[in-house]
Structure 1
């Protein structure tokens, strides 16, 4: 009886996985909405000012090492701050000035494929096998399907937007790979909190260089709601879920959340904004996922076999 009560008290892993994908998927639409009221880099910086302070408070409460120590730990934190928070969000927010949040989510779903490619090139992961290399090229082809390039359209607004978002995903993937050799056992809560705060500082510098001003912010109810959602729901709450799922699933399986986010972003964009993603964009997402499936076919096979085994019990 006690075991049954405890099992009901512990949230189901699948449910938390879907909730995390929902919070992060909806964030692409929240960014799209907020960009009507905030300068892009300042918007991203304010988001992680708030989220970083709150996650740091959680780290102080939950772990015994609430700040990095030594050159290697600070280097790991700095690389995460630069590539995963500052560059990724700067490029994503600038890109979403030209493309919808749903399209951005589809392009960002290429990140796990780019991560595998960087990991292989930098000898952090196993080398890509021939079929994996094909999967990498298929994933890149999926982005071209989304862009729908035509002669004379290379400088179109949508092309620039997709290119910026693609560079954002590239930065995220590269940062994820570069930090692996620097792993020192620093608690993930501590690393993420300080990376958020340092990344926010970098974004503030970039915002100042671009000439963005706090006076340009339109403090409407919608603006406050979008910032609050991104900082609290998609920032603090989602990262707390991330920490929990990281312990339950591990980083490899957790990366699959990126393929549920575009689905959520598409649904939220339709419900909130009335936007509908065209068939070509959906086809591009399918092609990108096919590329990932070719690279991570062994992982997907293990997950499907494990899921079937649990269902048969």
Structure 2
């Protein structure tokens, strides 16, 4: 994959994933949150399963580790994402996206706790603490606002990304070698079913609007961020490595804020912007060695290109 192609995929994913937050916010105006999430993930599961059958070839779990990974992903990564829909009823899409950017930092926390080979370095501890401080600046918990809807929404979004991060580490713990697209397709199906059961348990109405505006939002969420976006993410993860792929998390809030402002009239406080910068700083501390290795590799590549051009 050329650098130009990787950059194009990165930009597309940032726009696709970032636009999902305001799209969810818009859809929640007309649909019950958990049923809305379930319908989106049902559609995404069908698309990715079709992709696995037609392109990947290995389309179903075969070993015990595969099934454990599918259940972990379905319950924690997809089922847990339902808290995002519950939370976005009370907070803006930009704030939700910023809290979600804590994902890579929380993944390190769960990896240290659940993966025997992981060790807590001083750098990891500092990075995690910085990231948590950044989210605290965004959430800004206080006794006076303990029962305010906005704080409740932020707390639910934080529960969502905590569950998603735990799911990603639990999947790694299973040791599965199933293709990522196949794993995600099955996890989406299980997660969608759990969310549907949750919707029934909460007594949500089991109907959604059929007007073109809502259906366009639902189809967009199911096809672009989840269907195409996930497939491209896995491709970039495999070819460019986890550092480059996960950096998309920090493009997402920028896109979410801009679209939320233009489409929904949302605003973002300066303290939330500072909080996002602090979360990103925590990620940089966590991955500083990887960043250094990547920059060194880039310098070597440029030197090779320059040497070839001078011949």
Fold conserved (TM > 0.5)?
A: yes
SS at match of 1:184: coil
Match of 2:130 in 1: 138
Match of 2:238 in 1: 247
Distance 1:307 1:81, change over 3 A: same
Shift of 1:124: 4.6
Distance 1:76 1:122 in 2: 14
Distance 2:206 2:186 in 1: 24
1:52 paired with 2:45, answer yes
C-alpha contact 1:124 1:177 (8 A) present in aligned 2: no
Distance 1:135 1:220, change over 3 A: same
Deviations 1:147-202 (A, max 9, x none): 22333211111111111111111101111111112122111121111111111111
Distance 1:243 1:58, change over 3 A: same
Match of 1:228 in 2: 219
Shift of 1:261: 0.6
1:64 paired with 2:66, answer no
Distance 1:44 1:198, change over 3 A: same
Distance 1:308 1:263 in 2: 28
| 2:253 aligns with one of 253, 257, 262 | 262
1:148 paired with 2:109, answer no
Aligned pairs for 1:141-180 within 5 A = 141-180=133-172
Distance 1:219 1:131 in 2: 51
Alignment root-mean-square deviation, CA: 1.8
Distance 1:25 1:307 in 2: 28
Distance 1:307 1:220, change over 3 A: farther
Distance 1:195 1:99 in 2: 27
Distance 1:219 1:309 in 2: 55
Q: Which runs of 4+ in 1 moved over 3 A?
A: 304-313
C-alpha contact 1:65 1:190 (8 A) present in aligned 2: yes
Unaligned runs of 5+ in 2: 306-311
| TM-score, normalising length: structure 1 | 0.92
Match of 1:42 in 2: 35
Shift of 1:301: 2.0
Aligned pairs for 1:278-297 within 5 A = 278-297=269-288
1:115 paired with 2:107, answer yes
Deviations 1:59-95 (A, max 9, x none): 00112321112332111111111111111x2110001
SS at match of 2:145: coil
Distance 1:274 1:236, change over 3 A: same
Match of 2:308 in 1: none
| Paired residue total | 304
Match of 2:86 in 1: 94
Shift of 1:308: 4.6
Shift of 1:297: 0.9
Distance 1:21 1:56 in 2: 23
Unaligned runs of 5+ in 1: 1-5
Once the two structures are overlaid, the 10-residue window that deviates more, 195-204 or 183-192, is 183-192
